[in-house]
């Protein structure tokens, strides 16, 4: 298969896995929330968030480096993987011990500590299949990873649903995650041995280990900053307010950030082009950077207006009246998603153009700002304060990355302002229309109506053209010339 053919298939696998995993994860959490209520959902989310916060210390960027090195030296895949396994064994033990000690120092209830203990095992297993899939990525094959991610999530839902039907205690729901992660490890291990001939074995080669420690520092710091920024709010809510408050916040968070796969997939598609154009054609780099921001605005702005207007009927319909307190945090978080989407083109540009240190610096500043904002706002405004902190944090992340990115490839400001104003106007009119119709039509009918109205408005105002819509499709689906469609 040609290099282009591999890119097409891998992009399709990656996007499909992102979408499938997000959908199944959202369904599972929705079932949990409806079944166990606000406090149960909060306790579950605390346990998962707590271990996810620490999971970065099991990896420290090793998976990213492993992908790169296996791609360079496929004949050394077994040696590289063996040393990473050796390093991870030490990191896993240290991290699990740290998680247990920290959970008890924070005086969580015994049931929460038990759930965190089970989630710690899940954390280790997830780290294991992450590096196995990293080897496969190095061989430029994402097929088995896509299958494993989706089937593992499906296994979690099936087992978790059985546990919920039997009305078993909350720790069993984390046990369902354990089943999904175990399956993922088995599948990944089997696929790697059978299809790539790489038989794992733990190794400790001093030269290789020193190399990994040296090159993983930027990845490790970026991972730490990102995890702390993403999950510290739930931990702080649980200690400053209550685990029930986490239940309300978790619903808003899950809905708002269920759409994060869109900019992630988009960034994965444009990253290679940015790297190429940085070396060969700065004009095209500017065009791609400008177009990426417009295209993501085209998706996220109507998404924000639509969900903000329909938040209350959908939250009550899906989760029940007990979660009505999630509505205002969701309305705030969904607008923070605008800045989260817009960060990805700038972050991708910095990484693609050898400015990863700048990107990591911005992430570090954002993490510190977010912790301080949460510390100030949560005691005063509870979960609404956490949502405001997320909004301000995402604004800092986007604006900081944009400042550095514009020094590398200044975007077409005039084009950006014209497009963003027309997109915002179209989305605003759509949102106002949905708000006026909300008392008269069911929320499920308002969704397609809003989509049709927005598309008609944005095309009529020429916020986007039909050819540009085709360009977006070509990037996500890798049809035609992909990214080159928007710079030709």
Q: What's the token pair of residue 150?
A: 């989706």
DSSP track, 98-166: HHHHHHHHTT--HHHHHHHHHHHHHHHHHHHHHHHHHHHHHTT--HHHHHHHHHHHHHHHHHHHHHHHT
181: closest CA among 121, 133, 258, 136? 121
Burial class (CB in 10 A: 0-12, 13-18, 19+), 447: middle
Q: Which residues contact 206 (CB under 8 A, 6 or more apart)?
A: none
Please report, for the chain, the start and end positions of each structural domain, with discontinuous segments joined by +.
Answer: 1-215, 259-488
At residue 355, what are phi and psi to the nearest 5 degrees? -115, 30
* pLDDT tens by residue, the chain, 488 residues: 444 445 455 556 666 676 777 777 888 888 888 888 898 888 988 898 889 888 888 888 788 778 778 877 888 888 888 888 888 999 999 999 999 999 999 888 899 999 999 999 999 999 998 888 888 877 877 778 888 888 888 899 899 989 988 888 888 988 999 999 999 999 999 988 888 787 877 788 788 788 877 777 777 787 788 888 888 898 999 999 988 899 999 999 988 888 887 887 777 667 767 777 887 888 888 888 888 898 899 999 999 999 999 999 999 988 889 999 999 999 999 999 999 999 988 988 888 787 878 888 999 999 999 999 999 999 999 999 999 999 999 999 999 999 999 998 888 898 899 999 999 999 999 999 999 999 988 888 999 999 999 999 998 887 676 666 666 665 555 544 455 555 55
DSSP-assigned letter for residue 409: S
Q: Cα angle at 272 between 266 and 273, to 5 degrees?
A: 85
- Round to whole Å and give the CA distance between 405 and 348: 9
- Round to whole Å and give the CA distance between 19 and 251: 19
Q: What is the pTM of this model?
A: 0.83
Burial class (CB in 10 A: 0-12, 13-18, 19+), 90: exposed
């Amino acid at each position: 298969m040609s290099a282009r053919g591999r890119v097409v298939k891998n992009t399709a696998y990656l996007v499909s896995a992102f979408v499938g995993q997000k959908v199944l994860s959202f369904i599972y959490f929705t079932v949990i929330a409806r079944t166990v209520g606000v406090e149960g959902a909060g306790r579950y989310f605390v346990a998962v968030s707590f271990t996810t916060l620490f999971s970065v210390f099991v990896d420290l960027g090793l998976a990213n480096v492993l992908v790169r090195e296996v791609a360079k030296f496929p004949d050394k895949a077994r040696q590289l993987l063996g040393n990473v396994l050796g390093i991870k064994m030490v990191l896993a033990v240290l991290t699990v011990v740290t998680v247990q000690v920290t959970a008890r120092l924070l005086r969580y209830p015994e049931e929460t500590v038990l759930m965190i203990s089970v989630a710690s095992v899940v954390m280790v297993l997830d780290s294991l299949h992450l590096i196995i899939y990293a080897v496969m990525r190095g061989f430029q094959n994402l097929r088995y990873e896509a299958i494993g991610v989706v089937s593992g999530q499906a296994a979690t839902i099936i087992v978790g649903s059985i546990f919920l039907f039997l009305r078993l205690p909350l720790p069993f729901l984390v046990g369902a995650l354990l089943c999904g992660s175990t399956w993922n490890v088995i599948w990944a291990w089997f696929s790697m041995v059978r299809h790539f001939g790489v038989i794992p074995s733990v190794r400790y080669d001093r030269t290789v280990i020193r190399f990994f420690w040296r090159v993983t520092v930027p990845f490790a710091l970026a991972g730490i900053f990102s995890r702390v920024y993403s999950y510290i709010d739930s931990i702080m809510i649980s200690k400053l307010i209550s685990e029930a408050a986490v239940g309300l916040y978790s619903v808003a968070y899950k809905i708002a950030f269920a759409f994060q796969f869109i900019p992630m997939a988009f960034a994965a598609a444009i990253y290679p082009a940015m790297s190429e154009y940085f070396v060969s054609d700065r004009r095209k780099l500017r065009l791609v950077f400008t177009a990426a921001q417009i295209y993501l605005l085209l998706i996220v702005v109507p998404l924000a207006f639509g969900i903000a207007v329909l938040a209350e009927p959908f939250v009550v319909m899906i989760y029940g009246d007990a979660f009505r307190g999630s509505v205002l945090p969701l309305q705030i978080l969904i607008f923070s998603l605008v800045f989260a989407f817009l960060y990805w083109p700038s972050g991708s540009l910095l990484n693609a153009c050898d400015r990863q240190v700048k990107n990591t610096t911005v992430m570090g500043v954002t993490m510190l700002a977010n912790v301080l904002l949460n510390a100030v706002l949560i005691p005063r405004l509870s979960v609404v304060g956490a949502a405001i902190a997320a909004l301000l944090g995402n604004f800092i992340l986007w604006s900081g990355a944009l400042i550095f990115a514009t020094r590398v490839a200044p975007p077409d400001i005039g084009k950006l302002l014209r497009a963003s104003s027309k997109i915002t106007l179209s989305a605003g009119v759509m949102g106002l229309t949905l708000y006026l119709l909300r008392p008269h039509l069911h929320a499920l009918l308002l969704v397609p109506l809003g989509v049709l109205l927005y598309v008609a408005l944005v095309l009529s105002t020429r916020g986007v053209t039909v050819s540009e819509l085709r360009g977006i499709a070509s990037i996500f689906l890798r049809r035609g010339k992909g990214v080159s469609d928007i710079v030709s």
